[in-house]
Amino acid sequence: QVQLVESGGGLVRFGGSLKLSCAVRGVTLDYYVIGWFRQAPGAKREGVACLSTYDGTSDYAESVRGRFTISKDNVENTIYLEMDNLEPEDTATYYCATARGLAIEHGLQWRWFDDWGQGTLVAVSS
């Protein structure tokens, strides 16, 4: 059974940085796409970043490109989302999710993902 546990959220000021972690248990991430998604109150869930574990390709939402970086620690089986130059519009609950064998072009579309973490809250003050 796949278990994903996010951590690293918190309150940060405009322009600050946070690094989110997603610890993955119960599966070896050898042929997966890992996605980070976020959902603000009253808003739709949106894809933020995704990473293919079989060829290393990644993709980002335009709203975060150049500010967020997704990466993977193979030893710890953990996925990271490093977020720089944070803006109040980045305030949301952030979730990581996995999808085995998914094509990277679907990596920002939450409906393709099977297993989800519980989420971690990021709040950016102006």
> What tokens does 3 get?
């278990």
Determine what percent of the chain is predicted with pLDDT higher than 90: 91
Tell me the pLDDT of the chain averaged across its residues.
96
- Confidence band for 124, pLDDT divided at 50, 70 and 90: very high
pLDDT of residue 30: 86
Q: What are the CA-CA distances from residue 32 to residues 10, 26, 90, 94, 102 (Å)?
A: 28, 13, 26, 19, 7
Confidence of residue 76 (pLDDT cuts 50, 70, 90): confident
The pLDDT of residue 62 is 98
